[in-house]
Chains A and B, each alone.
Chain A
Amino acid sequence: MKLKQTAYLFILTCLLLLSSTSRAAVLPDERADAMYHSYDGDEIQVTGPAILIRKNVGASTSVFYQYYEDNITSASIDVRVGGSPYEEFRTENSVGVDYLNGKTTMNLSYTDSSENDYEAGTFSVGISQDFFGDLSTLSMGFSQGTDSVTQRTGNNPTTFSSELSNIKRTNYRVGFSQILTKNSTISLGWETITDEATEQGGSGVTLNNPYRSYSYGTPGVNRFFAREIYPNTRTSNALGIRGSYFVNTFKSAIHYEYRWFQDSWGIQSNSLGLSYVHPVKNWELDFRWRYYTQDKADFYRDMFDFANQFTYMGRDKELSTYTSMAVGISGSYKFAKNGWGWIDKGSVNLSYDLINFEYEDFRAADDTTANPGEEPFFQFEAEVIQATLSIWF
């Protein structure tokens, strides 16, 4: 019966796509971007370059390549409590192709992320279709990825354990965009993601970070640490609503977004974002604000009563109850607006964001002036800087 329903859905989708008329959607711009990025917060510095090149091949195909690099120096709260400061290097390579046929765009991409203790590969496929006189766009996507998790042994960053956990991740996406008026658009997106981890060689590692620990003890007296115990599966659902509005008076734009999230670990979150883009001669100024709040996972506690108290036990701050707020500004200067040689146009962009994280049930266990389990709740601020050069050709 389920197979029949899937077949009906497939036939319906195909008929929908075939019922389109001939007015074409468009391929993404041909462009090259080079970016330098920097993150600095909670004694973690992450910097590195990134490049993106997108080029058409023929009239209906666009291909892209992206390279991204993280150079990480970390003495974060997790390291200060139970580890040693470390340096790490991560590279990410992505290739992809978009194919346009009438009102239908199909895309295919592969991303490989590599760091010395974590390898991840993700394959994605998607399709989108314009209809209702190009006022509406329906899109669907599917991704599948595999992560291989290992761990540094000792403080030497050149020696690693054998594989501790193998994670399979599957994403299902569906989206719908609608032109509302000649000045506004809105879009809805839904994504379900499932993770399934297989512990390797009795390592005790499933979906948990092998460097992190849960804590147990007696508040005011002592605090001990042991390796976290996570479920080996996780399923999450997210619903996003985004919209844009063109302000005729200033030729500017307002963007807004809301996302609701919940997962099988009991985490629920809401995020809200708002940005305003204002052009001034050759400049474009972008002011943005973002608010995020989340409730903790069912198996999270800052301090458990004793070791192995429950089947699953975690103390990742990302599983705790907290809020974060970000404000940012970007300035983008447009040059060669009328073309220059083989360049159609270009821009230079400088961006700064300040993010504040405030945890409600994750204590700063590195605070040795307070009694164990009675430390103040953790909070930190992070600064994010981006500098980008873009060329259209």
Chain B
Amino acid sequence: MKRFVLIITTVYIFSGCSSWEPWVKPYERENLSDPIMNVARDPISAGYYHHVFETRESARGAGAVTGGGCGCN
């Protein structure tokens, strides 16, 4: 029951969020919408750059690209 109340409360809070006033107004987002603010603005290049490192490092995940294969021996 406690969990149910918690869920309902959480949903209520999140549902109410859509009526919150955003602290950055839509008309203030010109700089944010500039393409240079997108780190993966060239998706084919960003994917390749990611692949170059992924095939030579053990770390993986929490990046922008998924896929299989190697080409790395």
A: residues with CB less than 8 A from B are: 8, 11-12, 15-16, 19-21, 33, 35, 37, 39, 46, 50-52, 66, 68, 70, 72, 74, 76, 78-79, 88, 90, 92, 94, 109, 111, 113-115, 118, 120-122, 124, 131-135, 141, 143, 145, 147, 169, 171, 173, 179, 181-183, 185, 189-193, 209, 211-212, 236-240, 242, 244, 246, 248, 251-253, 255, 257, 259, 261, 263, 265, 267, 269, 271, 275, 277, 279, 284, 290, 292, 294, 297, 318-319, 324, 326, 332, 349, 351, 353, 355, 357, 384, 386, 388, 390
Contact of A255 among B3, B23, B24, B39 (CB under 8 A): B39
- B53 / chain A contacts, CB cutoff of 8 Å: 290, 292, 326
Q: Which residue of A lies closest to B21 (CB)?
A: A133
Whether the Cβ atoms of A88 and B7 lie closer than 8 Å is: no
List, in ascending order, chain B residues with CB within 8 A of A390's CB. Answer: 42
Interface size range on B against A: 35 or more
Residues of B44-72 at the interface with A, using a CB-CB cut-off of 8 Å, are 44-45, 47-49, 52-53, 56-63, 66-71
Asked if B60 and A120 sit within 8 Å, CB to CB, the answer is no
Question: Once the chains bind, are B34 and A246 in contact (CB under 8 Å)?
Answer: yes
Closest partner residue, chain B, to A14 (CB atom):
B11
Report Cα–Cα, A131/B32, bound state, in Å. Answer: 17
- In chain B, residues 1-39, which have Cβ atoms closer than 8 Å to a Cβ of chain A? 3, 7, 10-11, 14-15, 17-18, 20-24, 26, 28-29, 31-32, 34, 36-39
Give 20 A-B pairs besides A292-B57, A318-B58 with Cβ atoms closer than 8 angstroms. Answer: A12-B10, A15-B11, A15-B15, A79-B73, A90-B70, A122-B67, A131-B18, A132-B18, A143-B66, A169-B68, A189-B63, A236-B59, A237-B61, A259-B59, A261-B60, A265-B58, A267-B58, A269-B58, A277-B36, A292-B59
User: Which residue from B24, B36, B52 sits with its C-beta under 8 Å from A279?
Assistant: B36
Q: State the CA gap A182–B30 with chains docked (Å).
A: 8
Given contacts A35-B45, A384-B52, A386-B45, contact A88 B71 (CB under 8 A): yes
Within 8 Å CB of B17, what residues of A?
Answer: 19, 131-132
Residues in B with CB closer than 8 Å to A12 are: 7, 10-11
Interfacial chain B residues near A52, Cβ < 8 Å: 43-44
CA distance A74 to B60 in the complex (A): 23
Question: Which residues of the partner chain B approach A79 to less than 8 Å between Cβ atoms?
Answer: 73
Contacts of B24 in A (CB 8 A): 135, 179, 181-182
